[in-house]
């Protein structure tokens, strides 16, 4: 329990009322909590982000950029305006506990022989002490085969976490903000990269996918963030976040999480997109070994997750890797467990006994059976 106690002490020193203290009978969970404690309140409260446009010269030699003369015409203030739904998105999924605050600032530029990353270095170097992250948008589009962007939480920091020191940043190409979108840009990429800036890792449907850039799960903003748009081209947000990320961010409380490590136990789970005014469990965790747990949660097919078309229980394997959250390996074990069905690895069996929606709150009764 040493790690759990250390987490509680570290967080208490921030001066925030902190509902996530941990102290699980699971080395894997305590390791995750300790890792997140190094980032202080990175995912809580008002989070100041500077929005910066980077001018890319027409003769740029960085192959990430589409050749040609087309450039974004929006100002950083225009972009801030278009980011309102991103603020809403994080407000909803954090249960009102996390609010990115975007502020337009002066642009930066790079020369023809400098790479896109230099945009971010310049934006960070010019940022105010009180700024905790910079969101940099290149005014040129990336090629179709290049990544859309990236995000990072920066170096661990608990107090006065100025982005100029931690180097916390999100960077994207211009594609999602070009005139083609008529002021209604897709925001799933920004939401995904902001997730990395909260120290969240990718997830995918196979352990073999890690390191191969295959992010193919439709139930997680940190995987196929465009999944809602793939179903309905009018959608703009990413899918919601996974319960494990919500909990480690401090968006769920200890009382919303149960851990089971032996025997047979039954639980009623409330869908993760339900406001905390509704009591109840959001996440059941089953430790597999010192570095791995299985997570079980209910995803309601409404709001950001309406592309899923029906409510479901989802099961993930969460493996601690490295000393950062963004290196955790989160693998889908079952993305659509329905009533009467079970998932099992031979040692742990999870069965859905009931899955219902009452007054727009989706709940499931599940049974977890662990072989002796
Ligand atoms: Zn990513």
| CA of residue 147 to ligand 1 center, whole Å | 9
What average pLDDT does this structure show over 240-247? Answer: 98
| CA of residue 365 to ligand 1 center, whole Å | 33
| CA of residue 340 to ligand 1 center, whole Å | 34
| CA of residue 101 to ligand 1 center, whole Å | 21
Q: Residues of the chain with pLDDT > 90: what percent? A: 88
| CA of residue 222 to ligand 1 center, whole Å | 6
**pLDDT value of residue 22:** 62
Domains parsed from the chain with CATH numbers? 2-39+243-370 (no CATH), 45-198 (3.40.390)
| CA of residue 326 to ligand 1 center, whole Å | 9
In this predicted model, what pLDDT tens digit does every residue of 258-284 receive, in sequence order? Answer: 999 999 999 999 999 999 999 999 999
| CA of residue 286 to ligand 1 center, whole Å | 26
* Lowest mean pLDDT across 7-11, 154-158, 160-164, 254-258: 7-11
**pLDDT value of residue 112:** 97
| CA of residue 11 to ligand 1 center, whole Å | 27
| CA of residue 190 to ligand 1 center, whole Å | 10
| CA of residue 171 to ligand 1 center, whole Å | 11
Residue 10 pLDDT more than 90? no
| CA of residue 192 to ligand 1 center, whole Å | 6
Q: How confident is the model at residue 287 (pLDDT cuts 50, 70, 90)?
A: very high
**pLDDT value of residue 8:** 35
What average pLDDT does this structure show over 288-300? Answer: 97
SS3 sequence of the chain: CHHHHHHHHHHHCCCCCCCCCCCCCCHHHHHHHHHHHCCCCCCCEEEEEEEEEEECCCCCCCCCECCCCCCCCCCHHHHHHHCHHHHHHHHHHCCCCEEEEEEECCCEECCCCCCCHHHHHHHHHCCCCCCCEEEEEECCCECCCCCCEEEECCCCCCCCCCHHHHCCEEEECCHHHCHHHCCCCCCHHHHHHHHHHCCCCCEECCHHHCCCCCCCCCCCCCCCCCHHHHHCCCCCCCCCCCHHHHHHHCCCCHHHEEECCCEEEEEEEECCCCCCCCCCECEEEEEEECCEEEEEEEECCCHHHHHHCCCEEEEEEEECCCCCHHHCEEEEEEEEECCCCEEECCCEEEEEEEEEEECCEEEEEEEEEECC
| CA of residue 245 to ligand 1 center, whole Å | 14
**pLDDT value of residue 323:** 87
Q: Residues of the chain with pLDDT > 70: what percent? A: 94
| CA of residue 20 to ligand 1 center, whole Å | 25
| CA of residue 174 to ligand 1 center, whole Å | 17
What average pLDDT does this structure show over 221-247? Answer: 97
| CA of residue 230 to ligand 1 center, whole Å | 18
What average pLDDT does this structure show over 187-200? Answer: 98
- pTM of the entire predicted model: 0.93
| CA of residue 237 to ligand 1 center, whole Å | 15
| CA of residue 196 to ligand 1 center, whole Å | 7
**pLDDT value of residue 19:** 54
Q: How confident is the model at residue 18 (pLDDT cuts 50, 70, 90)?
A: very low
Higher pLDDT, 4 or 51: 51
| CA of residue 13 to ligand 1 center, whole Å | 31
| CA of residue 93 to ligand 1 center, whole Å | 18
In this predicted model, what pLDDT tens digit does every residue of 98-123 receive, in sequence order? Answer: 999 999 999 999 999 999 999 999 99
């Amino acid at each position: 329990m040493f790690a759990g106690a250390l987490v509680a002490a570290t967080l208490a020193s921030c001066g925030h009322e902190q509902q996530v203290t941990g102290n699980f009978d699971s080395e894997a969970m305590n390791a995750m909590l300790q890792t997140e404690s190094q980032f202080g309140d990175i995912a809580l409260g008002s989070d100041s982000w500077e929005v910066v446009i980077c001018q890319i010269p027409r003769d740029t030699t960085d192959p990430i950029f589409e050749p040609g003369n087309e450039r974004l015409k929006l100002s950083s203030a225009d972009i801030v305006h278009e980011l309102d739904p991103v603020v809403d998105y994080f407000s909803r999924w954090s249960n009102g506990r996390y609010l990115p605050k975007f502020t337009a600032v002066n642009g930066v530029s790079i020369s023809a022989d400098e790479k896109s990353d230099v945009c971010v270095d310049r934006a960070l170097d010019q940022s105010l002490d009180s700024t905790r992250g910079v969101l940099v948008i290149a005014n040129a589009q990336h090629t179709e085969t290049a990544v859309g962007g990236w995000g990072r939480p920066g170096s661990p920091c608990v107090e006065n976490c100025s982005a100029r020191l931690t180097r916390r940043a999100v960077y994207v190409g211009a594609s999602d903000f070009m005139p083609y979108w008529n002021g209604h840009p897709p925001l799933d990429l920004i939401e995904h990269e902001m997730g990395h800036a909260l120290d969240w890792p990718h997830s995918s449907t196979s352990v073999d996918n890690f390191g191969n850039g295959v992010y193919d799960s439709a139930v997680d903003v940190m995987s196929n963030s465009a999944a809602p748009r793939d179903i309905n081209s009018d959608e703009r947000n990413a899918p919601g976040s996974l319960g494990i990320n919500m909990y480690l961010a401090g968006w769920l409380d200890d009382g919303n999480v149960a851990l089971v490590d032996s025997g047979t136990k039954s639980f009623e789970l409330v869908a993760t997109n339900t406001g905390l005014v509704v009591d109840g469990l959001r996440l059941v965790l089953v430790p597999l070994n010192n570095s791995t747990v299985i997570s079980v949660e209910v995803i309601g097919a409404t709001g950001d997750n309406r592309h899923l078309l029906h409510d479901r229980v989802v099961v993930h394997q969460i493996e601690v890797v490295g000393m950062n959250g963004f290196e955790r390996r989160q693998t889908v074990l079952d993305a659509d467990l329905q009533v009467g069905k079970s998932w099992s690895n031979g040692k742990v069996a999870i069965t859905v006994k009931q899955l219902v929606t009452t007054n727009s709150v989706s709940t499931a009764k599940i049974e977890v059976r662990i072989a002796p």
